[in-house]
Amino acid sequence: MGVRMLCGVALSVLLVLAAGASASHPSHSSCPATPPDAGGTLQVSHAFGPCSPLGPSAAAPSWAGFLADQAARDASRLLYLDSLAVRGRAYAPIASGRQLLQTPTYVVRARLGTPPQPLLLAVDTSNDAAWIPCAGCAGCPTSTPFNPAASASYRPVPCGSALCAQAPNAACPLDSKACGFSLTYADSSLVAALSQDSLAVANDVVKAYTFGCLQRATGTAAPPQGLLGLGRGPLSFLSQTKDIYGATFSYCLPSFKSMNFSGTLRLGRNGQPQRIKTTPLLANPHRSSLYYVNMTGIRVGRKVVPIPAAALAFDPATGAGTVLDSGTMFTRLVAPAYAAVRDEVRRRVGAPVSSLGGFDTCFNDPAVKWPAVTLLFDGMQVTLPEENVVIHSTYGTTSCLAMAAAPDGVNTVLNVIASMQQQNHRVLFDVPNGRVGFARERCTAA
Ligand X SMILES: *[C@@H]1O[C@H](CO)[C@@H](O)[C@H](O)[C@H]1NC(C)=O
Query: Shortest distance, CB of residue 378 to ligand X, whole angstroms?
Result: 4
Check residue 378 for interaction with ligand X (CB under 6 A).
yes
**Which of the stretches 193-201, 245-253, 258-266, 403-411 binds ligand X when contact is defined by CB under 6 A?**
258-266
Check residue 421 for interaction with ligand X (CB under 6 A).
no
Check residue 278 for interaction with ligand X (CB under 6 A).
no
Mode of pairing for the β-strands spanning 263-267 and 277-282:
unpaired
Query: Shortest distance, CB of residue 274 to ligand X, whole angstroms?
Result: 24
Query: Shortest distance, CB of residue 292 to ligand X, whole angstroms?
Result: 9
How many residues in total does the chain contain?
Answer: 446
- Contacts for 404 with CB less than 8 Å, ≥ 6 apart: 71, 74, 330, 331, 332, 333, 338, 358, 359, 360
- Choice among 124, 128, 197, 430 that is catalytic: 124
Check residue 363 for interaction with ligand X (CB under 6 A).
no
Residue 117 and residue 147: Cα distance in Å, rounded? 8
Check residue 150 for interaction with ligand X (CB under 6 A).
no
Size of the site for ligand X (CB under 6 A): 9
Residue from 54, 85, 228, 282 binding ligand X (CB under 6 A)? 282
Q: What is the separation of C-alpha 303 from the centre of its chain, rounded to a whole number of angstroms?
A: 30
**Which CB sits closer to ligand X, 130 or 282?**
282
Determine contact, residues 118/111, Cβ cutoff 8 Å.
yes
Strand partners, 32: none
Residue nearest to ligand X (CB): 445
Check residue 258 for interaction with ligand X (CB under 6 A).
yes
Residue 343 and residue 363: Cα distance in Å, rounded? 14
Determine contact, residues 423/255, Cβ cutoff 8 Å.
yes
Residue from 172, 259, 339, 372 binding ligand X (CB under 6 A)? 259
Per-residue binding string, ligand X, 309-338, x by CB under 6 A, is -----x------------------------
Residue from 294, 326, 399, 424 binding ligand X (CB under 6 A)? 294
Measure the CA dihedral 32/36/39/41, to 10°. 40
Determine contact, residues 48/68, Cβ cutoff 8 Å.
no
Q: What is the separation of C-alpha 415 from the centre of its chain, rounded to a whole number of angstroms?
A: 14
**Which CB sits closer to ligand X, 156 or 297?**
297
Pick the closest to residue 204 from 232, 252, 150, 241 (CA basis). Answer: 241
69 is catalytic: no
Check residue 445 for interaction with ligand X (CB under 6 A).
yes
In which order are the strands placed within the sheet that holds 295-300? 303-304, 295-300, 373-377, 380-384
- Choice among 74, 128, 197, 325 that is catalytic: 325
Residue from 43, 52, 241, 260 binding ligand X (CB under 6 A)? 260
The SS3 assignment for 242 reads helix
124 is catalytic: yes
Binding residues vs ligand X (CB under 6 A):
258-260, 282, 294, 296, 314, 378, 445
Active site (catalytic) residues = 124, 325
